[in-house]
Structure 1
Amino acid sequence: MEDVSLKGDFTWYADDHNTIRFGWLGTNHLFKPGVAEGKGETTPFNKVEMPKSRALEGGLYVSNEQKIGSLLTLQYGLRFSVFSNYGNSTVYSYDSEFIKNDSVTYSKGQIYNTYTALEPRISLAYTLTEFSSIKAAYTRNVQYVHLAQNSTGGTPLDIWFPSSPNVKPQKGDQFSLGYFHNIERWKVETSLESFYKINHNAIDFKDFAELLLNEYLEGELRFGKARSYGLEALVRLNEGKLNGWVSYTWSRTFREIPEINKGIAYPATYDRPHDISIVANYQLSKSISIGANWVYATGSAVTLPTGRFVIGNTIAPVYSDRNSYRMPDYHRLDLSMTYSPQAKPDRKWRGEWNLSIYNAYYRKNPWVINFVPDPNIPNATYAEMTYLFGIVPAITYNFKF
């Protein structure tokens, strides 16, 4: 996907109690589903290039931050968005069984489909004491560009595609409530936030979907609803030689689509109940600082084969319920050291050296699971994991004028 965008943001300080912000954004989207091309003299197939699609997206927004007395701050606003598909393009239509039954071709630059939406938002912050406050918010977001993720363990394929006559925009309503407290003595910020989100027109692939180089991809999609909820806790140290933060998020995300998993709600691919981040930076001297960053997340939800059956000479897998298994948990430690020599008075630029180690304890975080034939057991397979990165050291030099 390629985007070209233009935007403008403006702020008007109307008076001591009202700060008005407004602006616009325009984006031209170009979607490139993919190209398959054989290399070599004995290529068994010719080059295959999927049709490109194009769309324009625009938005106008206005918001006001209003102070009501000394304790209450209210923010409210409205965004108007528009999304239009344009040619050249061929659009397919599908029957109630998602089988292609017709097509229409549109010429270059011809707009053939448009969606519009209003996206309101409101939030309030109430000061309890000098160091604590509570905040509540409601936001509606409309998503015109979609990322569909295949959850089958052996094929971690992500596909970007636009809203269209066959694919409605996703609309999300999110509610949040949080408590914030600063410990002035230790220069520490703490917060605890909760959220609940309802997503309409949620998208997922049907069972046994054909994703790669499929011109009729929209016929492989199924639509329903999704819901997310969770808690986020944060402790941040802002000042002193040692600074950093510790954050923990517990969250769940479920989809409910009539044609998938017998209509029973199932975890989304990106449902990761536990997420931890620990960041620490320490200033050893005026010129040298060191840092460490440790992250942990529950493994993503996947659908794995639990058996297989034979039809003639063909072996077909039997899969589990949708996303009923988990990849191994993800975690890693990154380390860094930065050397910043003191700037010279006669030099108009300043530089620094950074030495970093990605995945310092060589955690093998799996990217994909493949099931391969077991050479020792006839008609049996075993799981084989593919990993992305081991330990990755790096040295960089940064400078600024």
Structure 2
Amino acid sequence: MLVLGLCMLPFNACAQQKFTISGTVTDAQTGENLIGATITTIELKQNGVVSNDFGFYSLSLPTGTYNVQISYIGYTTVNVKIDLQKNTILNQTLNSANALNEVVVKGTNAPANENISNPQMGLNKLDANIMNNVPVLLGEKDILKTIQLLPGVKSTGDANTGYYVRGGGSDQNLILLDGAQVYNATHLFGFFSIFNSDAIKDVSLYKGGMPAAYGGRLSSVLDVKMDEGNNQNYHFEGGVGLISSRIKAEGPLVKGKSSFMVSARRTYADVFLKLSGDSSLKGSSLYFYDLNAKLNYKLDDQNTLYLSTYYGKDNIGLKDNFSTNWGNSTASLRWNHIYNSKLFANTSLVYSNYNYAINNLSDNNVFNVASRIKDLSLKQDFTWFAGARNKITFGADITRKYIKPGNIQSTPTAIYNSTKIEDRSADEFAAYISDDMKIGSRINLVYGARLNWFSLRGPGTFNTYDVNGVITSTKTYSSGQSAQDYLNLEPRFSANYTINEANAVKASYNHNTQNIHLLSNSTAALPTDIYIMSSNNVKPGIADQVSLGYYRNLQHNQYEFSAEVYYKKLQNQIDYKNNAQLLANENVESQLLYGVGRAYGLELYLKKKYGRLNGWIGYTLSRVENKFDAINNGNYFPARQDRTHEVSFVGIYQLKPRVTLSAVFVYGSGNAVTFPSGKYKVGGVTTYYYSARNGYRLPSDNRLDLGVTFDGKLHKKYHSGWTFGIYNVYNRKNPYSVIFKDTKDSPPRTEAVETSLFGIIPSVTWNFKF
């Protein structure tokens, strides 16, 4: 009995002694950290771990001799024999298959199957091969257009980079660039994204089972990480396309310890406008540019500093009459510290800014509109590798938010009156904890919670409105005084049951809240979109999502198949009253309606990861419905992002070592739209009467895109190549919108006119690297 009692003491005193293998996994050629590398042993495969966002890992094992296997997609697997008698540091470099002139990584070198053992659901990671070869509009490689090809993700419009995830609104997606929020991730009204693929290292999209470290949005997280730069050698690369050019430089500041990366991109449609014979076009502008930069410095084996910045701007102008410009700027300063083999910390100071301005200088209608949203955040994250079967992540962050909703300066004859809307500010604090726990050899749980406190601050005057938009009370608050507070607990849970090495079932639940809200009457990302904060009138958005999935691997892990079903309940959703005035309206909250929503669906996904052919086939069957008391007689109606069926096919085929073929096919059933059910005339002007909201459907759309890439001869120091693409190969006129107009017949008839954006569009890009 005494022996039994001793064995029940904390820390398993009678258990076999354990030690830790820890370190970082890096690219042998560039020195960059490898995110998500798998570290396991041949003897105890169930105890494998993956490297974190900074390449760090920690693996606890009983004393003994092990064959440690380190693997990563696109890299050769390394086996290291270790006699574990004490805590051991193993920093490992991996060779890229491309660096070894290998066409593919063979199935036998495939990493241990993380998607089977990991309880994380709804996670899609994009690898460089897919991002760089998917054919897109005008040959401009685009992360956002690529994720739209995944099941559960819907485009806001043909060729538009805006997207919906599992029924949520386009503003309900958290987009991060090296930890900094991006509020408008589009260029040229949504046709291109701000992400220059040359500067991007890793892309992860979370559609469900959102980790507790993320918060502030209801539907998804898109976590984009920039390239760190090569700390071994200097490299330059870039490309020249039909509408833009780009260039990237990287190299060591201190070889093996510090590196830099700078990447720039600019369109030049404005250059061609100057060649026009039309004087109005000759003086017009139409361009965007962006700049990415990143520095890192390894102080010692325990400390590394990272500095990331982004700056981008759009400028569109019509000679001297009209102009609009908008842009994002972000900066992230991060400090990694390894306390010991089991405790890893990351401290971040993050800045984000988005602003736009509209200037109209036409005769008798001179006005200027300006708006801005800005964040400053301090965040502390910890990862504690508590044991072989427990990994605990915890942390906290505090953010000061500032919004300039939109001021108008105008002349007396302008269509807009001069308006000065009060600025708004708020503090948001969050703390989280999550435990990734393995139970036996088959069950893995991740459970935790996030506590969010939001405080709307003065100075300012705050109105309260009734359901008719009438002011019922007004209060004034001084600087720093709390005008409205919300405290929300957000539980998160994921579970995985591994049936065998190739099959698993998973389940997840998460509760999310959102305190920042986008007001827009358009599906496209326009610079006139405005943001407001939760207030006494606008409650935080709430989403509860439950997911269940089956996962299977085929043919030695070369194929991954998954089937996920989900149900999402949405509360405190926003819509607009008829003829709502959103732009520069100091009483904009009086124009809003509040309701609920629900979304549910099935997602099928078959992905091929290895071999000459890579890509996936995706299918989504879904329904998205909203309910507002003042719309559709208080009954549920289809949301504008409701599309019943969507199919995507993505294929990348390595025909020869220097020739890559690519194809994309998409099909989607028609979007929900509202058509008039009658009309009447007032003062000779036709006015349409609308009944059921989104009671009709546009025709289905489909499109085929093709591409081919020719890599030039791979010289030791320099090589170049060409990429040719055809967007919308068979010139399908996909419906973008429908307008109604009266014919000139007597009596006039009303006809529906369907509009589309793009027909067949060829592209060519010259790429170089040295």
| Cα deviation digits, residues 91-138 of structure 1 (max 9, x gap) | 322124332344445556554222221111111100112210000111
1:151–1:269 Cα contact (<8 Å) kept:
no
Say which SS state the counterpart of residue 745 (structure 2) adopts.
coil
TM-score, with length taken from structure 1 = 0.85
Q: Which is worse superposed, 286-295 or 204-213?
A: 204-213
* Superposition map of 1:146-295 within 5 A: 146-148=517-519, 150=521, 160-184=531-555, 187-295=558-666
Say which SS state the counterpart of residue 198 (structure 1) adopts.
strand
1:352–1:397 Cα contact (<8 Å) kept:
yes
Say which SS state the counterpart of residue 219 (structure 1) adopts.
helix
Alpha carbons of 1:296 and 1:30: their partners in 2 closer, same or farther (altered >3 Å)?
Answer: farther
- How far off its partner does 1:263 sit? 1.0
2:408–2:416 Cα contact (<8 Å) kept:
no
- How far off its partner does 1:5 sit? 5.2
Q: Which residue of 1 aligns with 2:753?
A: 384
Residue 452 of structure 2 aligns with an amino acid whose one-letter code is: S
Alpha carbons of 1:47 and 1:282: their partners in 2 closer, same or farther (altered >3 Å)?
Answer: farther
Alpha carbons of 1:104 and 1:399: their partners in 2 closer, same or farther (altered >3 Å)?
Answer: farther
Q: Which residue of 2 aligns with 1:332?
A: 703
* Match status 1:318 vs 2:671: no
Q: Which residue of 2 aligns with 1:123?
A: 494
Q: Which is worse superposed, 360-369 or 227-236?
A: 360-369
Alpha carbons of 1:117 and 1:377: their partners in 2 closer, same or farther (altered >3 Å)?
Answer: farther
| Cα deviation digits, residues 177-233 of structure 1 (max 9, x gap) | 111111125822111111111112222223443444443222222222211111111
2:632–2:691 Cα contact (<8 Å) kept:
no
Q: Which residue of 2 aligns with 1:66?
A: 437
Query: 2 CA distance for matches of 1:299 and 1:373?
Result: 25
Query: 2 CA distance for matches of 1:56 and 1:168?
Result: 16
The alignment of Structure 1 onto Structure 2 pairs a total of residues equal to: 395
Query: 2 CA distance for matches of 1:20 and 1:322?
Result: 47
Say which SS state the counterpart of residue 284 (structure 1) adopts.
strand
Gaps of 5+ in 1: none
Query: 2 CA distance for matches of 1:68 and 1:365?
Result: 51
Pick the structure with greater CA Rg: 2
Residue 644 of structure 2 aligns with an amino acid whose one-letter code is: P
Q: Which is worse superposed, 69-78 or 161-170?
A: 161-170
* Match status 1:134 vs 2:505: yes
Of 23, 31, 43, which aligns to 2:395?
23
Of 705, 722, 733, which aligns to 1:364?
733
Q: Which residue of 2 aligns with 1:13?
A: 385
- How far off its partner does 1:359 sit? 2.9
- How far off its partner does 1:11 sit? 2.3
| Cα deviation digits, residues 209-264 of structure 1 (max 9, x gap) | 34444432222222222111111111111111111110101111111222221111
Say which SS state the counterpart of residue 11 (structure 1) adopts.
strand
TM-score, with length taken from structure 2 = 0.47
Query: 2 CA distance for matches of 1:379 and 1:89?
Result: 53
Query: 2 CA distance for matches of 1:360 and 1:5?
Result: 45
Gaps of 5+ in 2: 1-182, 184-353, 355-373
Query: 2 CA distance for matches of 1:50 and 1:14?
Result: 51
Q: Which is worse superposed, 312-321 or 263-272?
A: 312-321
| Cα deviation digits, residues 287-324 of structure 1 (max 9, x gap) | 22121112222232222222112356664321021111
* Higher RCO structure (Cα 8 Å, ≥6 apart): 2
Query: 2 CA distance for matches of 1:386 and 1:32?
Result: 35
Provide the aligned C-alpha RMSD in A.
Answer: 3.3
Residue 80 of structure 1 aligns with an amino acid whose one-letter code is: L
Query: 2 CA distance for matches of 1:180 and 1:299?
Result: 30
Q: Which residue of 2 aligns with 1:373?
A: 742
Query: 2 CA distance for matches of 1:118 and 1:372?
Result: 51
- How far off its partner does 1:327 sit? 2.8
Alpha carbons of 1:48 and 1:147: their partners in 2 closer, same or farther (altered >3 Å)?
Answer: same
* Match status 1:85 vs 2:456: yes
Residue 221 of structure 1 aligns with an amino acid whose one-letter code is: L
- How far off its partner does 1:160 sit? 3.9
